[in-house]
Amino acid sequence: MAAPALEIKDLHAWYGESHVLHGVDMLVNSGEVVTVVGRNGAGRTSTLRAVLALTGARRGSIRVFGTETIAMPSHRIAHLGIGYCPEERGIFASLTAEENLLLPPKVKSAEDGAGMSVDEIYGLFPNLRERRSSPGMRLSGGEQQMLAIARILRTGARLLLLDEISEGLAPVIVQALARTITALKQRGYTIVMVEQNFRFAAPLADRFYVMEHGRMIERFEAAELSAKEATLHELLGV
């Protein structure tokens, strides 16, 4: 049986003196879409950052495709096949969309070392083909978000950590991103999404984790979503 794409056990993390994660447990199987929901400040982004050693001190266990990473530096963890799309996107504003796509180095993926070609990217994101010569600063918010996701697909990463990719975007763009997540799942990618927009995340996820005060307080399957609606409304106000 293949190892999970991501397995977190009793994870604690700090920013300086601030203890932000308090014994997080999480399991993501290969090929799944898993969504982490919770209020702002619950620790969701810190969990993604801790996976890549982008917080301060960490304690516990984080296994990526079966490899223990708790003592590894960020660059070695990335080369196990992880791509991270931060909330701030982080594209290069002065470079064209295509130049942004050509920049990322390849990482060694646990399943397949080759990332998507530029042509494959344009097939997945037709808007980027049309804007390939436009500087990043001239792209719309939705196009910048597409470019941020496209960049990590170029690297060969097979485990994608996506932080609030729908935030502040027009409904038509959010729908396009939902189609992209579905297409990536069909291609065998494993996706962990941190999302405030529950209506966007709900139809996409195989499993949900609810986070509060640096801990996972609920875990349930997509099939249990209806039964959990009252609990989610109380916890999240959705």
Comparing CA positions, the residue from 8, 38, 41, 5 lying closest to residue 23 is 8
C-alpha 173/C-alpha 14 separation (Å) is: 35
Domain for residue 221, yes or no?
yes
Q: Please spell the DSSP secondary structure of 47-74, one letter per residue.
A: HHHHHTT-SS-EEEEEEETTEE-TTS-H
Write down the pLDDT at residue 106: 74
Write down the pLDDT at residue 237: 65
Write down the pLDDT at residue 233: 75
Q: How many CB atoms lie within 10 A of CB 43?
A: 24
For 115, the domain range is 6-236
Write down the pLDDT at residue 238: 54
CATH number (domain holding residue 24) = 3.40.50.300
Chain position carrying tokens 């950590």: 161
C-alpha 135/C-alpha 161 separation (Å) is: 25
Count of structural domains within the chain: 1
Domain for residue 126, yes or no?
yes
Domain for residue 1, yes or no?
no
Write down the pLDDT at residue 113: 52
Eight-class DSSP state of 79: T
Element (H, E) at 36: strand 33-38
Q: How many CB atoms lie within 10 A of CB 112?
A: 12
Q: Which contacts of 58-61 are long-range, i.e. CB under 8 A and separated by 24 or more positions? A: 58/11, 58/12, 58/13, 58/14, 59/10, 59/11, 59/12, 59/13, 60/8, 60/9, 60/10, 60/11, 60/12, 60/23, 60/24, 61/7, 61/8, 61/9, 61/10, 61/11
Q: Going residue by residue through the chain (238 aa), what tens digit of pLDDT does each one get?
A: 678 999 999 999 999 999 999 999 999 999 999 999 988 889 999 999 999 999 999 999 999 999 999 999 999 999 999 999 998 888 898 999 999 998 877 775 444 556 888 999 999 999 999 999 999 999 999 999 999 999 999 999 999 999 999 998 999 999 999 999 999 999 999 999 999 888 899 999 999 999 999 999 999 999 898 888 787 777 776 5
Write down the pLDDT at residue 123: 93
Write down the pLDDT at residue 112: 52
Domain for residue 20, yes or no?
yes
